[in-house]
Amino acid sequence: MAIFTGAGVAIVTPMYPDGKVNYDKLKELLEYQIENSTDAIIICGTTGESSTLTHGEHLNTIKFAIDQVAGRIPVIAGTGSNCTETAIMMSQEAALYGADALLLVTPYYNKATQKGLIAHFTQIAGSVPETPIILYNVASRTGCNIEPETAAYLVKNVKNIVGIKEASGNLSQIAKLKALAGDDLELYSGNDDQILPIMSLGGLGIISVLSNVAPRETHEITERFFSGDIKGAAELQLKAIPLINALFSEVNPIPVKAALNMMGWDVGPLRMPLTEMEDAHKAVLRQAMIDFGIRLD
């Protein structure tokens, strides 16, 4: 059985003005997502600023989300690292907390070979043999691409590596991967502008930034597709394109935090080296949100 189908939110990590994690606000965001039909919570991923959380904050945030969601929908914990031993430690802790699955990004900066990626992911998976794992392919941020043959090998030969979040943007690569891996692979789009194309290749849904600000609409794209209303799903996907473009006009999660603050969520600042959104981009984002029908504070 798939970890989830539909729209999972790559949720932000809200912070107080002094930069500390705001768990009260995270509770509110989690409840908002569940109330608005989100199918899974992805905690401490890229959008959650995992790279600038301390290990303690990272694990505390994962545990908080698991405890708050309390089994109502799956919680997938981002526990990847460019250090294999660190990823093992974080993955084992998240598994103990009861994470439904783990999201493992490719090791950044090191630029591992494909052989190195196989060794890295196999060791982590072996340390948490009962916890499903979704690989996360986002070479634009990590400098390291998971080749289709590598991902297909891992899902076919490591029992708890079951899926991939594909954010390469390369539909030809994704089609090749699905052809190689077949039903052994649980495929999720990692790009909000490619929800429908990837589901048409056999994808199960999206791990989404858009869902932070439009959870019900993002879920509905997937729901319409799976119910057979391809035209309706396409209409919603295309309607969302200007907003999606605005949400990626600067590096994620700068725009999505700005958007949530415009909505009155008060999710606070970003951790350096990320800085606040440029005013010109913010104006475009605001208009895109209004045009999409999002109520602003």
Which residues belong to the active site? 136, 165
Q: How far apart are CA 49 and CA 254, in angstroms?
A: 10
Q: How far apart are CA 297 and CA 292, in angstroms?
A: 15
Q: How far apart are CA 295 and CA 297, in angstroms?
A: 7
Which residues pair with residue 135 across a beta bridge?
104, 164
54-to-45, 48, 51, 90 alpha-carbon distances in Å: 13, 12, 8, 12
Question: Nearest to residue 168, comparing CAs of 131, 130, 138, 144?
Answer: 138
| DSSP state letter for 250 | S
| DSSP state letter for 21 | B
